[in-house]
Homo-oligomer: A and B are copies of this chain.
């Protein structure tokens, strides 16, 4: 059982890094639009103006590329929620965030959450991807949890409230709402789910 790090050259020049990044971006877009299995490497080649050998120069195989795509989408999801995600420590902040998510979903024409669709497609059958996505969700939950913890420290949230559980509940609402929104071609389910989640947090607040 040798370390078997067969892929990825030891060093990358600036040009190489740019090419590699271009590939990941194109793959992320295509996979978001069509799913992992309906995105061929030929599609990725065409979209990123790259040849087959380059793909296999930078990535051991399609699975390795998919793993990179997960990482890239995780970054994108976090960036898209900036700056809201950094300070979800008050009811007004949560509501602003809610509106931003709804806006984001509309801008994406209700295609759903990039991480959610990847998770649904890969969580069974490609264990490294599942782990990676579980980490992404954990980080996301953690951001929410941090804001709630701050609220509790300030006494805005009841001492009996569990920031971890509240954060999991909120994230569930987001994912479920996005899935229903995507399926029904309407953003209402997302709005309704988010409002429930915010109500749920509000319910654990001490009187104003």
| Chain A: interface residue total (CB-CB under 8 A) | 47
**Contact A179 to B116, CB < 8 A, known contacts A185-B134, A203-B203:** yes
Instruction: Specify how many copies of this chain sit in the oligomer.
Output: 2
| Complex: A168 Cα to B197 Cα, angstroms | 13
Residue numbers in B under 8 Å from A195 (CB-CB): 169
Q: Residues 103-147 of chain A: 1 if any B CB is under 8 Å from the residue's CB, otherwise 0?
A: 000000001100011011101110000100110011000000000
Closest CB-CB distance, A152 to chain B, in whole Å? Answer: 17
Residue numbers in B under 8 Å from A184 (CB-CB): 134, 137-138
Question: B168 near A35 (CB under 8 angstroms)?
Answer: no
Listed from nearest, the 3 A-B pairs whose CB atoms lie closest are: A176-B176, A37-B37, A172-B176
